[in-house]
């Protein structure tokens, strides 16, 4: 399981011209799954994400977590995180989990995550337009393995 975590002041996701999810202060997280990922990967990364100290304290030092600032998450499914570009110019997605398997893990990720913080989402498999103001910018890649 792989995440791209972006600290955000404001973000939204649009499908077919309609905003389907939006947050103000928090994290935009692109979420990708690979074969072999399971609930343990989700649990590990949820703990990491909600406690990751990447928000500024009163001295401008990244010392606060998402929980500390009472932030939200915009969670976006993103199979292209597992693109393999070693050969040629067209990415291969053989390392991405098949959609019919990944959707259940993505739903479990969002359900479990929402027990800690407010979560907004895109629509799995849809053509999404993601808008965000990346604060900092702060962008961190996390993997469960």
pLDDT at 95: 96
Strands 62-64 and 55-56: antiparallel
Q: What structural domains does the chain harbor? A: 2-143 (3.50.80.10)
pLDDT at 145: 85
| Helix, strand, coil percentages, rounded to 5, for the chain | 25, 40, 35
- The structure tokens listed for 127 are 């053509």
pLDDT in tens, the chain (145 residues): 999 999 999 999 999 999 999 999 999 999 999 999 999 999 999 999 999 999 999 999 999 999 999 999 999 999 999 999 999 999 999 999 999 999 999 999 999 999 999 999 999 999 999 999 999 999 999 999 8
Q: Of 80, 107, 121, 139, which is the active-site residue?
A: 80
Q: Does residue 80 carry a catalytic annotation?
A: yes
Q: Does residue 121 carry a catalytic annotation?
A: no
Q: Does residue 79 carry a catalytic annotation?
A: yes
Q: Of 6, 34, 78, 121, which is the active-site residue?
A: 78
pTM (2 d.p.): 0.95
């Amino acid at each position: 399981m792989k995440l791209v975590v972006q600290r955000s002041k404001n973000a939204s996701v649009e499908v077919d011209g309609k905003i389907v999810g939006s947050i103000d202060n928090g994290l935009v997280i692109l979420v990708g799954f690979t074969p072999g990922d399971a609930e343990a990967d989700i649990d590990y990364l949820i703990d990491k994400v909600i406690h990751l100290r990447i928000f500024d304290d009163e001295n401008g030092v990244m010392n606060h977590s998402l929980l500390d600032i009472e932030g939200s998450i915009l969670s976006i499914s993103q199979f292209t995180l597992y693109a393999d570009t070693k050969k040629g110019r067209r990415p291969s997605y053989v390392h991405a989990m098949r959609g019919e398997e990944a959707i259940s893990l993505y739903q479990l990720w969002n359900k479990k995550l929402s027990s800690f913080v407010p979560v907004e989402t895109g629509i799995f498999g849809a053509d999404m337009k993601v808008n965000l103001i990346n604060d900092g910018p702060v962008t961190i890649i996390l993997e469960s393995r």
